[in-house]
Each structure stands twice: as structure tokens, then as C-alpha cells.
Structure 1
Amino acid sequence: MGESKITSDQGVDQSYASGFDGANSSGPKGSVHMHRHEPNSVDDSGIETNSADHMLESLGYKPELARNRSTLQVAFMSFVLASIPYGLATTLYYPLNGGGPVNIIWGWLAVSLIIVCVAASLGEITSIYPTAGGVYYQAFMLAPHSWRRVASWICGWLYTVGTITITLAVNFGTTLFFVGCINVFENSAGEPVFDPAAWQIYLIFLAITFLCNLVSSLGNRWLPILDTVAIFWTFAGLIAITVTILAVARNGRHDASYVFTHFESHSGWPDGWSFMVGLLHAGYATSSTGMITSMCEEVRQPSTQVPKAMVATIFINTFAGLLFLIPLVFVLPEIEPLLNAAQPVPLIIRSAVGAAGPAFALCIPLMVLALICGIGCTTAASRCTWAFARDGAIPGSRWWKKVHPTLDLPLNAMMLSMVVQILLGLLWFGSEEAFNAFSGVGVISLTASYATPIAISLFTGRRDVKNAPFNLGAFGVFCNVVALAWSALAMPLFCMPSNLPVTASTVNYAPVVFVAATVVSAIWYFAWGKKNYEGPPTQNPVY
């Protein structure tokens, strides 16, 4: 990918067309004549904030949230949303099952390079339309007038469902990972010390969900500090894990040929397709790429800070992922016994260090990172839900669009997101494949929502992004095509069961949850949206 170019004209034209009636407008009523850029270098954060708020007003919204994130802080939050290596640890089963070492390492690297194109494509569009509505708002602005409402409705529901279910998947994955870490200890019979019933798993999930919402709501002003600490915590933990397991390697180390070329499928699928199904591991870990756009209204210079953070974070994540995965594969024990474990990573670490106590200690950095990831996803999901409700697209929007005056965040929208997660979590009592459904539908929904504005921009000749502050130039079409090709593959791919033959316990329930959300969206559209929904209160800019 080429180097992104920032335009030199960084002033904000404050002239407005008479047809614009600010945050209270309810649809396209005129045009705004402005340059969609921010100051090139501003020392006073107050000036930065005023400029960003001025831009937000020009896009049709009243600034309601405090802009308390710098470039590095928004990059750190973007990193926390993926939480590599935790995001890779909870779903390592998929590449182990799909192809072993080749799937683990090369699958991660391949998907990461593809996601660079997704992030760059979204960053380019976000630099023009930096609102908390993210891809849903972008779809509305980019689409032709005749079907912009439908496009934004579909994209908004995909995005909202995706952010809520991926947050659910993170918190449920944390629950299962905690259990896996505890079970590095065994009783006298050689069995795991904790064999939880379904209700115990659910209670742990509830506790983690409540904790994430509590920290996100009451500690909002300190979250940028937490995100900053998280990145240093991550690399300190990675170094500790890497050095220890390679130095001790109680059961020996594989050679480089095994690590980088050994393919071993246990899925029952043909080898090629087995490898593809194993990509859910990388797809899940990178699915949060576009969620950071929902934080645009809390960033001082969103037109440049958010796109840069989105792209830069992919490279950081890729490096962190390889730093975590390659040492694990060097000390990988027999794969087949790992497939019977709910969480293979704690067992791999225990095998490498030879004792439960040190293994559990090495898992602590991942456990802490899991909670930080849940807090970050909870925050982003609440902003997405709030932004969509702000435009009347969610039943009961008048409640969910409110911003708490003291906490300075959309508390009601956060509670709505939490309640939906808690209710969906009840699926665990029906099937232990529920986590696969949560992660699968999150990846599918977010992938589809990211693809929507990218596709509209590409198929309308990329006319709206020609003067974008974060401009991909000649590489724009290439990045867009790669992003859409990945989307076309990922959505059906993550509906597939991970094993053949398919049984009630191995079927992928992600399409069921996805269809259910689609039905709710369609019913609400025909019951209310078709007559009342006008889309975001925005106007097309004229450069």
C-alpha cells in the first residue's frame, strides 16, 4: 500500500448554505460549502476541539461528547479493541483444527495484510465523514439519493448488531479463557480442577459483562489512560511469555520447517477449504478494525487521527500476533489432544513450562488484557448504538439517544447493548456452540457493514473521496477491491461449520442469529422506518 497523502489545504470554510438548519435538520435540505479539513498543526487542544466540533455541526449534529483522545490514545484504543494476543488466544482452536502451523501463522499474516486494505479504505471515507455513526453514516452520504435511506438502514443494523455481538463474543470468550487458565491445574486424578456447569459459565459471563460496563461508564474520563497502559502491558506480557516458553521448552522445540510449512487438518473438510475455515481465528481478531470510527466524536482531530490510527494499528497487531504465535508453534504439543480442550493456549503454555503454577502466571497478562478488551468493545458498542438511535433507527430511540449529563456518555445506549448481550448469552444453555455463533455473527455483520460504504464509494467512481484528508491516491481502487473480495469470502465462510460431519453440537449457529437480527431490522423498517426514517440529518458537501 502506498503512503497516504494528507492534503495541504487544512483550513475550515465556515460558510454555510441557507438550506442547512444544523443539528435539528432531518434530512437532505440543502448543501454545505466547506472544506473537510482540520488545522495542520495546532498546539491548543481547545482550538482542535472547536474545529472538530465545528465540522460535526456542519455534518448535522450537535457536539455532545467530550473530545478527550489524542492521536496516540485513539491508536491505543484501536489496538485494545483487537487486543492481540488475547484475541488470537481465544480462537486458536480454529486454525489448529483447520491446518495446524501453516494455518496459524500464514493465515494470520494473510488476513492481516488484507485487513490493511480494509482499514485504509474505511480510513479514507472516515476522514470525510468523521461521526460516531461510522460506516452507517458514510453509507448514507455516499449512496445515491434514491436508495440512501435503505443503504444506511441496512448498514446501520449490520454495524450495530456486529458491535454488540462482537462485544458479547469478547466477554464470553474471556469467560471461557478464564476457565481454561484455571484448568491448567489438575486434581489428583489428573482431571481439571474446575468443571463448570452451564449456569456457572453464565454467571462468570454476567460478572465480566457487568464489570466492563461499570468501568466503561464510571471511568470514562480515564479510559484513554487505561488504553495507553494496555499497550505497554501487552508487550511486556508478550515478551515474558515468548522468552519463558522458548527458554524452558520442557518438551523440546520443533524445527523451522515444522513451524512454517507443516499442514495438519482435523476438520474433515478438504485441505484447501479447511485452511479457509481456519481463518475465523484471524477474522475474529481483526473484526474490530472499523469500530474505532464510533469514537470520532471523542477525538480532537478525527479526520486525520482516526484513519491514521486504524491503519497503523493493523501493523502493530500483525507484529504482536507473530510475536505471540511463532513461539507457541515452536513449542506446540500434539495437536489432536488440544482440540478436545475448550482453550488450547493455556495448555500449550503449561506443556512448554512443565508446571501449572508458572503457566497460570504467564496467562495473567492475557487475562488482564481480555478485560481491557471487553471494556474497549463495550465503549465502542455503546457509541455505535447511541449514534444509530440518535437518528431514530432503533425502537425506543428517544431513550437510547440521551447522553448522561454527569458521566458525559450515552449511558442508556450502553445499558441497552448490555441487556441485549445478556439475553443472547442465554443461548449458552441451549448449545455450547453459542460462543461460535456470537463470534461468527459478529465477524459477518461487521464485515458486511464495512463493505457497504467501500462498495458504494468504489461503484460511484470514488468521487466523494477525491479530496479526502486521508487520501489513498492511486492505491485507492486496489485497496477497495481487496477489501470487497475479502468481504465476499468472509461472510459465507464464517457461516460454515468448523467440522464435518455436522452434528447438533458442531453446527454453526451464526447464520441463525444473523437471520434473526435481519428479521427484526426488516420488521421495524416496514412498521416504522419506511414512513418515518429519513436518515442522518446531513447534507452532501461541495468541495
Structure 2
Amino acid sequence: MFPHEPKHADATGAQEIDRLSSQEIDDAKLARMGKRPVLKRNFGLWSILGFSCTILITWEGIVVLFLQAYENGGLAGAVYGFIFVWVGVASTFVVLSELASMAPTSGGQYHWCSMLAPRSAMKIISYLTGWLTVIGWQATFATSCYLCGTLIQGLIALTHSNYQPQNWHGTLLFWAVAVFSLIINIVGGNLLPRFEGLILVLHILGFFAILVPLVVMSDHGDAHEVFTNFLNLGGFPSQGLSFFVGMVGCIFAFAGGDAAVHMSEEITNASTAVPASIMLSVLINGSLGFGMLLAMLFCLGDIELALQSPTGYPFMSIFLQATGSVVGTAVMCSIITTMGISTSVGMLATTSRQFWSFARDRGIPGWRLWSQVHGQNRVPVYSVLLTMCIACLLALINIGSSVAFNDLVAMSISGLYLSYMVVAGLLLYRRSTGAIGHIRNGDSELVNTVGGKLVWGPFHCRGIWGILINACALVYMSIAVFFSFWPPSWAVVVDTMNFSVVGTMGVVLLSLVYYFLRARRIYDGPIVETA
């Protein structure tokens, strides 16, 4: 009980005082980083944990994308590739958690660059990192909606044998998912946190709803084959090269670790809740994902039949072979599709908040418009609308070529991981030189922003362990980015060419043009705002 609180205050009053006190503490921390509290803090630990877990949806992603690991790596390659990625992602998430604990702002990577980079290079490094994050999240949201649209098409093909899927059908379904995500985000308030908490329950219960019938009803493969059988169906010169190319599916299944970071200004006790949600999400999703991967590999059935599935997704055929029931398979696939649609809701929130924050600091053309916040629930409506419109325009690519649209998957990996690499490299340099101190009670000066001193947050890996984890994260991210640009087969034709490097570098070059024409005169990193 607080000293000023009346002794006869009821439980509701005490809770209200605690809540207001927590918000005041969060706002004070934000002010020390030079930012005014603009958004409403509706998320607690449970809801932001649901948000983080359901952005990753690793076990669902493994089911949908396991074919890539199977073709390049085989059964054993899929197992060991997942373990490699899980360890690498865990080390990367430790670094993100440390940075989020130091500076829990919606800006995320570009803000961290501005506080860690040398002053002489701060502007350009922070600016480019901001655009890499924009590329990564815009591509990730569009990819999520695209996968949901094609999953719905797969369900229709599963239940109606005379259905002939067309690319434009997928685009229309894409738009439907985007509009649903828009509605949840525009309403704002307590709806989004409650929605994410509910989806976390479905995420966990849905895992068992699929795992149990799959394992119980299907014929099981041989353990020796699962753990020792490698494949190189992409025709690469070596099995090792094939293995690393096949890991891209697993990497994408863990994409979006910084999602909670960009919601920081809407979370109570963000400096501890965000790191906790990030680390718990990699533990929960990694465990569920590995369990589901093993179940899929042991219960493959006739893999050649699965590869020829008219649904476009081999996992639907695997489920059908296991259950022998179209209705049962449709229910199982509907769980995964529902989770995908729910993920798109969170991805729109994250993408729009990062875009809004970068606009707030004048890194985006038309920043005055995109940085506005509206309504009683204080939602950046214009940024939400623009994000949805960009995704819907990208969906038009699918009408002409689904191959071209598939490169967005790789762009989401390259954009996000390149932004992680920049901040991880700067953090490793700063921690190795002892440039980061500890906060002292009673201090009110600026910290962890341009011109402020660097201090660790509550989540911090001390000493040599922090340096080793940081270094391991950089090695893993370098591998992930490098192989995200590779095609799925050695003999490259138009249908298998990976154009993501063109898309990523193209946006970077355009952002550089804007920087030298205008942004270098108005962008100075995160603006220190006054109350």
C-alpha cells in the first residue's frame, strides 16, 4: 500500500492507484528517452506475451512451410536445421531483449542505432536501419495475408474437388484478411489486447488439437530414417549447401521477434514486460514448433502423394492420409488458418506502430500526416490505413505472378535481420568497450537516446556471457541473411529465381535518394520532445 493511500480504501481503489502509478513510472521512463507519452497503455504481460507468441506462430509456420526444409535437407536436415535456427534465434532474441529493456520505444532498431552509433555516422545509420525495418515489416504483413489467402484456397480445394484455384482468388482473400485486421486495429482500446490474449489460448490448445489426432491415427515412420536421412532435391553441389538453403523456412517461422518492441509505448512496465514476452515466446514457440516438426516427419505418409496435393499445401494431404476424413482434416487445417489470420492482426499493429514512430522522427515522406494519433483510444489511424493499403497493392503482384510475390518471404527475413545485425554489431562494440553504465536512482537526465548517456535496463546479460551471446547472434544473423537471398534449386530458371535482393536493395537505394534530396536536412535521429 502506498504511503499516501487512505487505510480504508477498497480493493478496487488500490488497484486503480497501482495501475496509475505504473503508468506514471512508464511515462517518466519514456520522458527520459526524450519522448512524450502519446499512445494508450492497454497491454499487460499476459496480453503482450500472447501478442509475441502469436506473431511468431512457429508450430503453425513449420506445418505450412516444412516442405522447403524437406526438399533441401530432407528429414534429418529439417530436424537439425530447426535446432540450429532455434539456438540462433534465442541468442538474437537475448540481444533484442537487452536493447528493448534499455530503450522500450516504438521506434525499436533505428532508435537503438541512434543511441549506440558514433555521432558522426549516427544519422545515416539510424535512417537506413529505420528503412530496413520498414521493408521487413511491410513485407512480413503482406506475406502473412498472402499465406492466409492461399490457405483458405487450399481449404476450398480440400472440401470441393471441382474447385480450380486462381491467383486472383488469392488476392481477393488477401484483401479480406487485411480488412479484418484493419477493423480490429482501428477499434483499438482494450479490444486488441483481449484479442491477443484469447489467441494465445487457441495457439496452445490448437497445437494439441492437431498433434494428438496426427500422432494417434497415422502410420509412423522409422526413427533412423528421420534422424539420418538427408536429401538434396535442389541439386546443390553439396549436402551442406542444400542444408543451409533449406533452413530459410525455419527462419521465417521464427520471424518477427521485435514485434512486441514496436508496441512498447502501449505496454505497462515495458522495460521488463517486453523482454519477458520476447524470451518466453522463443521458449514456448520453439518447444511447440520442434514437437510439431517431429510429429510431421514421423507421420509423413505417402510424401509423393502429399507433394501433388491439389490444395497447394502438402500438410493438408498428410492430415488427410492420417485421419481418413475430409471433415476432420478441414477442422485441423482451419485451426492453422485461423491462427494465420489472427497473426495478421498483430502484424498490422506492429508494422503501423514502427512506421508511425519513424514518421514521428521525420524519417518518412509525408511524416506530418503519418505521425498523427486519433480518437479516445489514441490509435495512429493514418499509419494503420497506409500499411494496409501498401499490402493490398502488393497483393496485385500475385495476380500476375505468385513466384514474384513469394520473394516477399525472403524480403521480410532480409529486411528484419539486417536491421537486427546493425544494432547487434553496435551493441557488441559498446559493451566490449565498457561504454554502457547503470542507472542511478534519482537521475532525471536523458538516457539511451541521441545525446544521452547509455545505461543498461533491467534485463541484461553481464560480462563475458553477454559478449559471447551477442557474437553468436551476429554469426547466426549473417548466415540467415546470406541464405535468404538464395534460390531453392541450383539450376535457376525464372520460376525459381529469388529476386528479394533486388527488392530489398531497391528500397534501400530509393530511401538513400530521399535522404540526400531531403531527409538529411530534416532527419536528426529520434527527436527529443518536450512536454
TM-score by length of 2: 0.89
* Residue of structure 2 in register with 1:138 after alignment: 112
Instruction: Give the alignment partner of residue 243 of structure 1, picking from 185, 201, 212.
Output: 212
Determine if contact 2:184/2:191 at 8 Å carries over to the other structure. no
Q: For the residues of structure 1 that align with 2:281 and 2:260, how far apart are their CA atoms? A: 11
* Residue of structure 1 in register with 2:21 after alignment: 47
Instruction: Give the alignment partner of residue 129 of structure 1, picking from 100, 103, 107.
Output: 103
Determine if contact 1:161/1:517 at 8 Å carries over to the other structure. yes
* Residue of structure 2 in register with 1:275 after alignment: 243
Q: For the residues of structure 2 that align with 1:310 and 1:362, how far apart are their CA atoms? A: 28
Letter in 1 for 2:231: E
Determine if contact 1:82/1:285 at 8 Å carries over to the other structure. yes
* Residue of structure 2 in register with 1:535 after alignment: 525
Determine if contact 2:63/2:292 at 8 Å carries over to the other structure. no
Q: For the residues of structure 1 that align with 2:83 and 2:63, how far apart are their CA atoms? A: 15
1:13-35 alpha-carbon deviations (Å, 9 max, x no partner): xxxxxxxxxxxxxxxxxxxxxxx
Pairwise CA distance, 1:465: 4.3
* Residue of structure 2 in register with 1:379 after alignment: 349
Instruction: Give the alignment partner of residue 115 of structure 1, picking from 70, 86, 89.
Output: 89
* Residue of structure 1 in register with 2:277 after alignment: 309
* Residue of structure 1 in register with 2:294 after alignment: 326
Pairwise CA distance, 1:228: 1.4
Greater CA deviation, 391-400 or 221-230? 221-230
Letter in 2 for 1:151: I
Pairwise CA distance, 1:109: 2.0
Pairwise CA distance, 1:195: 2.0
* Aligned 1:68-147 pairs, distance under 5 A: 68-147=42-121
1:186-236 alpha-carbon deviations (Å, 9 max, x no partner): 63xxxxx33222211111111111111111222442111111111221221
* Residue of structure 2 in register with 1:7 after alignment: none
Q: For the residues of structure 1 that align with 2:462 and 2:55, how far apart are their CA atoms? A: 28
Pairwise CA distance, 1:255: 2.1
Question: What's the % identity of the aligned pairs?
Answer: 26
Greater CA deviation, 87-96 or 303-312? 87-96
Pairwise CA distance, 1:521: 0.8
Letter in 2 for 1:51: I
Determine if contact 2:42/2:189 at 8 Å carries over to the other structure. no
Greater CA deviation, 146-155 or 103-112? 103-112
Pairwise CA distance, 1:425: 1.9
1:296-351 alpha-carbon deviations (Å, 9 max, x no partner): 10111111111121111101011110222111111103434444553221111111
Letter in 2 for 1:225: R
* Residue of structure 2 in register with 1:522 after alignment: 512
* Residue of structure 2 in register with 1:397 after alignment: 367
Greater CA deviation, 170-179 or 390-399? 170-179
* Aligned 1:206-221 pairs, distance under 5 A: 206-221=175-190
Letter in 2 for 1:325: L
* Runs of 5+ unmatched residues, structure 2: 1-14, 439-455
- The change in CA–CA distance for 1:213 and 1:89 in structure 2 (over 3 A counts) is farther
SS in 2 for 1:326: helix
Pairwise CA distance, 1:538: 4.1
* Residue of structure 2 in register with 1:163 after alignment: 137
Q: For the residues of structure 2 that align with 1:185 and 1:265, how far apart are their CA atoms? A: 33
Q: For the residues of structure 2 that align with 1:353 and 1:465, how far apart are their CA atoms? A: 57
* Residue of structure 1 in register with 2:442 after alignment: none
1:266-307 alpha-carbon deviations (Å, 9 max, x no partner): 111131111111111111111101121101101111111111
Pairwise CA distance, 1:458: 0.9
Determine if contact 1:121/1:483 at 8 Å carries over to the other structure. yes
Letter in 1 for 2:234: S
1:486-515 alpha-carbon deviations (Å, 9 max, x no partner): 121111201110123111111112112112
Greater CA deviation, 221-230 or 384-393? 221-230
SS in 2 for 1:488: helix
* Runs of 5+ unmatched residues, structure 1: 1-40, 188-192
Greater CA deviation, 132-141 or 220-229? 220-229
Greater CA deviation, 150-159 or 423-432? 423-432
Letter in 2 for 1:162: G
* Residue of structure 2 in register with 1:224 after alignment: 193
Q: For the residues of structure 2 that align with 1:491 and 1:85, how far apart are their CA atoms? A: 22
* Residue of structure 2 in register with 1:503 after alignment: 493
Determine if contact 1:100/1:335 at 8 Å carries over to the other structure. no
Q: For the residues of structure 2 that align with 1:183 and 1:273, how far apart are their CA atoms? A: 35
Instruction: Give the alignment partner of residue 266 of structure 1, picking from 233, 243, 249.
Output: 233
Pairwise CA distance, 1:450: 1.1
* Aligned 1:51-62 pairs, distance under 5 A: 51-62=25-36
Q: For the residues of structure 2 that align with 1:436 and 1:494, how far apart are their CA atoms? A: 12
Q: For the residues of structure 2 that align with 1:433 and 1:296, how far apart are their CA atoms? A: 35
Q: For the residues of structure 2 that align with 1:113 and 1:131, how far apart are their CA atoms? A: 26
SS in 1 for 2:402: coil
Letter in 1 for 2:89: I
1:389-423 alpha-carbon deviations (Å, 9 max, x no partner): 00011010000000112342111011111121122
* Residue of structure 1 in register with 2:387 after alignment: 417
Q: For the residues of structure 2 that align with 1:465 and 1:283, how far apart are their CA atoms? A: 31
Q: For the residues of structure 2 that align with 1:234 and 1:499, how far apart are their CA atoms? A: 33
- The change in CA–CA distance for 1:43 and 1:64 in structure 2 (over 3 A counts) is same
Greater CA deviation, 139-148 or 400-409? 400-409
Pairwise CA distance, 1:107: 1.4
TM-score by length of 1: 0.87
Q: For the residues of structure 1 that align with 2:214 and 2:206, how far apart are their CA atoms? A: 12
* Residue of structure 2 in register with 1:9 after alignment: none
Q: What CA RMSD, in Å, does the superposition of the two structures yield over aligned residues?
A: 1.8
* Residue of structure 1 in register with 2:409 after alignment: 439
Between the two proteins, the alignment pairs up a number of residues equal to 492
- The change in CA–CA distance for 1:516 and 1:338 in structure 2 (over 3 A counts) is farther
* Aligned 1:429-508 pairs, distance under 5 A: 429-462=399-432, 463-467=434-438, 468=456, 469-474=458-463, 475-508=465-498
Determine if contact 1:184/1:350 at 8 Å carries over to the other structure. no
Q: For the residues of structure 2 that align with 1:100 and 1:178, how far apart are their CA atoms? A: 27
Instruction: Give the alignment partner of residue 169 of structure 2, picking from 200, 225, 230.
Output: 200
* Residue of structure 2 in register with 1:178 after alignment: 152
Letter in 1 for 2:202: W
* Residue of structure 2 in register with 1:347 after alignment: 317
Question: Is 2:328 the partner of 1:367?
Answer: no
